[in-house]
Chains A and B, each alone.
Chain A
Amino acid sequence: MIEVKNISKTFGENKVLNDISYTIKKGMCNLVIGQSGSGKSVFLKSVVGLHQVDSGAILYNGRDTTKMKSKELKALRQEIGMVFQGGALFNSSTVEENVRYPLDMFTKMTKLEKQKRVDFCLSHVNIENANQLFPSEISGGMQKRVAIARAIALNPKYLFCDEPNSGLDPITAIVIDKLIQNLTKELDITTMVITHDMNSVMEIGENIMYVYKGQKWWEGNKDKIFNTKNPELNNFVFASDLFKAVKNIANE
Chain B
Amino acid sequence: MRILYHIGRFGLLQRKVFAKPEKFRILLKDILREMDKLGVGSILIIMIIMFFMGAVVTIQTALNLENPFVSKTIIGFATRDSIILEFSSTVTAVILAGIIGSNIASEIGTMRITEQLDAMEIMGVNSAGHIILPKIIGMMIMMPFLVIIAMTIGILGGLASTITIDNLSVQDYLAGLQLDFSAYRVFYSLIKSVIFAMIITMVSSYHGFHAKGGSLEVGKAGTQGVIYSIILILIANLFITQLMLT
Contacts and interface: CB of A to CB of B under 8 A. Distances in A.
A11 interface: no
B116 A90 contact: yes
Interface residues of A, number: 23
Interface in B106-131: 110, 114-116, 118-119, 121-125
A76 to B, nearest CB: 8
B40 interface: no
Interface string B60-89: 000000000000000000000000000000
A102 B123 contact: yes
Binding site of A, secondary structure by majority: helix, strand, loop or mixed? mixed
B125 A88 contact: no
Interface stretch (A12-20, A78-86, A114-122, A216-224): A78-86
Contacts of B26: 104-105
B206 to A, nearest CB: 20
Nearest to A79: B124
B123 A84 contact: no
A69 interface: no
Interface in A44-87: 48, 50, 74-78, 80, 82, 84-86
A88 B22 contact: no
Contacts of B119: 82, 84, 88, 90
Nearest to A82: B122
B115 A84 contact: yes
A88 B114 contact: yes
Nearest to A102: B123
A84 B124 contact: no
B22 A105 contact: yes
Given A105-B22, A105-B23, A78 B124 contact: yes
A50 B121 contact: yes
A78 B122 CA distance: 8
Contacts of B116: 88-91
Contacts of A74: 124
Given A104-B26, A105-B22, A86 B114 contact: yes
20 contacts: A50-B122, A75-B124, A77-B121, A77-B123, A78-B124, A80-B122, A80-B123, A82-B119, A85-B115, A86-B114, A88-B115, A90-B116, A90-B119, A91-B114, A104-B26, A105-B23, A105-B26, A105-B124, A105-B125, A106-B22
